Amino acid sequence: MKSASSADVDRAPRSASHTTDAAQAAGASPHTTAHIGIIAGSYFVASFAALGLPPYLTVILPGLGDDTGRWAGILYVVPTVFSAVGAPLWGRLADTFGRKRLLLRAQLGLTVAFLLAGWADSIGTFAVALILQGILGGTFAASNGYLAATLDGRALSQALSVMQGAARAALVFAPIVVGGLSPWISPHRQYAVLAVLPLSAALIIMFLPESRHGDQTRPERREAGTPLGEPLPDAVAPAAQTQGPSTPAPANQQVTGLAAPPLWSLYALECLFVFSTVISFPYLVSLVGQRLPGISPLMSGVLFALPHLCYLLTAMSLHGICHRHPRPGLTIGFAVLILGLGAHSVATGLAAFVVARLLLGIGLTLGLLCLAELASRCARGRAAGGLFGSLEFFSKSGAVLAGVAAALTNAYIGPAAPLLVGAAAATFTVAALIVLPPLVRRSPTRPSRLRWSR
């Protein structure tokens, strides 16, 4: 979920220090490694308002005329929708005018949007600010684009892992910081205060070099008429040109014939997973305040962050299991989501909410890791750009549907209703995974050809 939702953000995390060492081992120079740290750090600080304030929309909106916060679910996903609309244009402009310039534009765009949101005096103006946040922002995609133009191969993979770690860390710490500041500065006005963070990030990025243009070092070319997402013919693999058509890849690049799901099932599972998790976000603070009168904003932020903290703490230890058994792991993940979402609806004390949030975190972790494994298997032999672009579309679609469903069910039933809808969607998915024919097909072991990403 690359939105304010959990659908915009999430694959396996790595700590910044661990990834920095790995990047150096992969051949990235210390100078380039420093750039990775600057880009990831800039994204982390710029994400505080974008990721930390949406959980408090139900607190912000009454001051803008929406006494019940019924628009929180819709506004929660507004930046996600318009980020998806604007991303292709900004990507083309980055290729034309330079990725550093467009990364600066994204940070400055967030600064303008946050200032407008912080001083908005009506829901209409606030909604315009969130639309501008989506259109003018896009710092995660812009940061990855800068890194992709600077690094290749393993060094790029490690850099993108650092970015995912920065995103997950922002989801953990930003709501807590916002809650801690709330007694002195309202969440609404914090938008204006936190605008200084993307502005500071832009000032730091100004001193970075421009990334190189073009893809001269990436020789893969797609044959005309080959649909996106379909396997590339062997003839276009660079290994076929450099190693011969029958030469296997080095030992560390062998593919072991692990099962891969049909693309339609991967897209459906991604959409359902994002829907089931993101629908619980917009009205959580409202539900906690209703069930636990007098709870501090700081504790509300801690409860919101618990599932993401669970992911950071457990993902590395669970990765091996999910790599070997992604389909059972995904089924268990959805089943734990059902328990966690259901526990929210009946929780009446702080301890019960902590247990519910931790269950949601375990389900979130298993789901993200197993979906990442299935996606990586689908990517073998296919055009990765087309596949992951389609996967992102379905992820954002799940986030948007979750926001709309959360707003409608909260308006007619209450803040616990979105959680029950999410549990129903997860139940449907578990039933489909159990009843339908296997969604993964075993393929024979075969070596993989070296293929450059574009």
Q: DSSP letter string over 75-142?
A: HHHHHHHHHHHHHHHHHHHHHHH-HHHHHHHHHHHHHHHHHHHHT--SHHHHHHHHHHHHHH--HHHH
Q: How many whole angstroms separate alpha carbon 408 and alpha carbon 401?
A: 11
Nearest to 161 by CA among 322, 275, 305, 26: 26
Q: How far is CA 258 from CA 80, 254, 453, in A?
A: 33, 11, 21
pLDDT score at 446: 39
Q: How many whole angstroms separate alpha carbon 86 and alpha carbon 96?
A: 16
pLDDT score at 110: 93
Euclidean distance between the first and the last CA atom of the chain, given in angstroms as a whole number: 23
**What would the 3-class secondary structure string for 393-405 be?**
HHHHHHHHHHHHH
Per-residue pLDDT of the chain (454 residues; tens, 9 = 90+): 444 444 444 443 443 444 444 444 444 444 477 788 888 898 888 888 888 888 889 889 999 988 888 888 788 889 888 877 776 677 667 767 777 888 899 899 999 999 999 999 999 999 999 999 988 877 766 776 677 666 654 455 456 556 766 777 888 888 888 888 888 999 999 999 999 999 999 999 988 887 654 444 343 433 333 333 344 333 333 333 334 444 444 433 343 445 667 888 888 998 999 999 989 888 888 889 889 998 888 888 889 889 988 888 887 788 788 878 888 899 999 999 999 999 998 898 999 999 999 999 999 989 888 887 787 777 666 654 456 657 767 887 888 889 889 888 988 888 889 999 999 999 999 999 888 765 544 443 334 443 333 3
Helix ranges restricted to H, 253-325: 263-278, 284-291, 297-324
Q: How many whole angstroms separate alpha carbon 121 and alpha carbon 429?
A: 42
pLDDT score at 185: 92
pLDDT score at 108: 94
Question: What pairs with residue 383 in β-bridges?
Answer: none
Give Cα 230 distance to the centre of its chain.
24
Q: How far is CA 176 from CA 1, 60, 93, 346, in A?
A: 20, 16, 36, 24
Q: At what angle do helices 139-150 and 99-118 cross, to 10 degrees?
A: 160
pLDDT score at 234: 35
Q: How many whole angstroms separate alpha carbon 143 and alpha carbon 160?
A: 9
Q: What is the DSSP letter of 347?
A: -
Q: How many whole angstroms separate alpha carbon 285 and alpha carbon 216?
A: 49
Q: How many whole angstroms separate alpha carbon 439 and alpha carbon 348?
A: 39
Q: How far is CA 102 from CA 32, 211, 291, 300, 422, in A?
A: 19, 11, 45, 35, 37
Helix ranges restricted to H, 151-195: 153-181, 187-194
DSSP 303-319: HHHHHHHHHHHHHHHHH
Q: How far is CA 399 from CA 6, 13, 157, 197, in A?
A: 8, 21, 26, 26
Q: How many whole angstroms separate alpha carbon 412 and alpha carbon 342?
A: 19
Provide the token pair at 192. 């204006």
* Residue 315 · residue 369 · CB < 8 Å: yes
Torsion, Cα of 341, 343, 345, 351 (10° steps): -120
pLDDT score at 18: 42
DSSP 368-379: HHHHHHHHHHHH
pLDDT score at 211: 65
Buried b (16+ CB within 10 A) or exposed e, 311-327: bbebbeebbeebbeebb
Q: What is the three-class DSSP state of 422?
A: helix
Q: How many whole angstroms separate alpha carbon 423 and alpha carbon 4?
A: 21
Interacting residues of 217 by C-beta distance below 8 A, sequence separation 6+: 152, 452
Question: Which amino acid makes up residue 151?
Answer: L
Q: What is the DSSP letter of 231?
A: B
Q: How far is CA 237 from CA 88, 221, 223, 251, in A?
A: 26, 8, 11, 17
Q: How many whole angstroms separate alpha carbon 66 and alpha carbon 167?
A: 30
